[in-house]
Structure 1
Amino acid sequence: MIAALWAVFGYLLGSVPFGLVIARALGLGDLRKIGSGNIGATNVLRTGNKPAALATLLLDSGKGAIAVLLARHFGGETAALLAGGAAFLGHCFPVWLGFKGGKGVATFLGTLIALYWPLGLGACAIWAVTAGISRISSLSALMAAALSPVFAWAAGRTDVALVCAFMAVLIFLRHRTNIARLLDGTEPRIGRKG
């Protein structure tokens, strides 16, 4: 019962659309009508406002991490796993936006760092290396998502691997149109204004 309550807390925290809030507060417009229409940091970057994109990245990753850390402190490891997965789910399907949210990459990374920091830092490194080579955010996210469950399992953290697999499946589903553009060579590069 306690773990379930932490899952609800995680979902509600994850549902806060920080990118949308920041863009509106700074007069950047409605992110859902800019670039990809996504509410995450990559689309905020398309407005040309790098500080706003950084703030979105930190807040979106932070809400996953905070959900995990608070749940672990007060409810134990099972509560932490559920809260982290729920925060990610909340970002992707926020109740406040009619369940139409972001793609969850920053929240995924923040959640992993809090759940098992070596894996989280490894996932960030995979994202950064892939982004540095390809300059394509979606490809970087897909690589990090695909490899994280494997690395968690190899490290003996099957509990974290299950949460990773859940998030990875959703990341791939949320990136369906990106995958199609990657296959036909039309996926936009990082930093391109929308």
Structure 2
Amino acid sequence: MQDLVGPALGTLAAVAVGGYLLGSIPFGVLITRAAGAGDVRNIGSGNIGATNVLRTGRKDLALATLLLDAGKGAVALLIARQLFGSEVAGAIAGGAAFLGHLFPVWLGFKGGKGVATFFGLLIAAAWPLGLMAGATWLIVVFALRYSSLAALIASAAAPLLALLPLSSVGLPVAAPILVLSVFTAVLIWIRHHENIGRLLKGAEPRIGAAKQA
């Protein structure tokens, strides 16, 4: 019953605020500035995520951004789950961290698209789910060379994968984690609305297209 009901509302509110502030840390901006690579918001798409950081030509900075953006979601979820012994608290902290990445208070609520943070959340919440969603992303990327399409398909697949009857690896997931996967997937699709438009028009650039040109 404790896990279903979760901590008191005041505690959950504090968990949400803490998760949001952690998720709001704009690692892409901080890392590129510290490395003397400029403000990533003035480069490429202007996005603060790892994909745009890669456009600085610094793979090391992009990798660091990827890991830190994934890590902040994972850390928020794991700390809340450990402190309160509740999947509800973990899901709320993770969801709040995801919102923080998308709408960071430090950057006027203009953040990233949440893909790395999404995968970090899934791995922390239920690692088999995170690995399967990640594998889905990789398959689409290698087959079609569209990073955005891979993110859309992987995020849409995650809630379905979460329901698989694989008790040996902890699936299906608890209800709060299922809700978290749906919540984050919906936001990823919303944040990719411009990419969706370009995909429908056949104008979305493929990975490596610029180099080939």
TM tier relative to shorter chain:
over 0.9
Aligned AA (1:110): G
1:26 alignment partner in structure 2: 35
CA RMSD between the two structures: 1.6
Q: Does 1:176 align with 2:193?
A: yes
8 Å Cα contact 1:93/1:100 also seen in 2: yes
- Aligned twin of 1:74: 83
- Show the counterpart of 1:123: 133
Give yes or no for the alignment of 1:145 onto 2:159. no
Identity of aligned residues (%): 62
Amino acid at match of 1:143: I
Aligned to 2:3: none
Aligned residues: 194
Deviations 1:174-194 (A, max 9, x none): 00001111111221233567x
Task: Could you tell me which runs of 5 or more consecutive residues in structure 1 were left unpaired when the two chains were aligned.
Answer: none
Instruction: Give SS of 1:67's match.
Output: helix
Is 1:54–2:63 an aligned residue pair?
yes
In the TM superposition, what is the alpha-carbon distance from 1:26 to its structure 2 partner? 1.4
Query: Secondary structure of 1:186's match?
Result: coil
**TM, length-normalised to structure 2:** 0.87
Q: Matches of 1:192 and 1:26 in 2, distance apart?
A: 27
One-letter amino acid matched to 1:188: P
Alignment deviations for residues 71-112 of structure 1 (CA, whole Å, 9 cap, x no partner)? 111012211110011110100000111111000000000011
Q: Secondary structure at the match of 1:28?
A: coil
List alignment gaps of at least 5 residues for structure 2: 1-9, 165-170
Q: In 1, Cα distance between the equivalents of 2:148 and 2:25?
A: 22
Shift of 1:161: 1.5
Corresponding residue for 1:36? 45
Letter in 1 for 2:162: A
Q: Does 1:159 align with 2:176?
A: yes
Give the aligned residue type for 2:191: R
Match of 1:99 in 2: 109
Counterpart CA distance in 1 for 2:124 and 2:53 is 24
Determine if contact 1:61/1:108 at 8 Å carries over to the other structure. yes
Distance in 1, Cα, partners of 2:56 & 2:205: 14
Residue 103 of structure 1 aligns to a residue whose secondary structure is coil
Higher relative contact order (CA 8 A, sep 6+): 1
Which stretch shifts more, 11-20 or 74-83? 74-83
The more displaced of 106-115 and 159-168 is 159-168
1:133 corresponding residue in structure 2: 143
Distance 1:183 1:64 in 2: 31
Which of the two has higher C-alpha Rg? 2
CA distance in 2 between partners of 1:3 and 1:112 (Å) = 20
2: CA distance, partners of 1:104 / 1:55: 15
Quote the residue 1:86 is aligned against.
96
CA distance in 1, matches of 2:49, 2:113: 7
TM-score (norm 1): 0.95
Q: 1:191 to 1:7 in 2, by over 3 A?
A: farther
Equivalent position of 1:186 in the other structure: 203
CA distance in structure 1 between the aligned counterparts of 2:36 and 2:202, rounded to whole angstroms: 33
Aligned mates of 2:160, 2:176 — CA distance in 1:
12
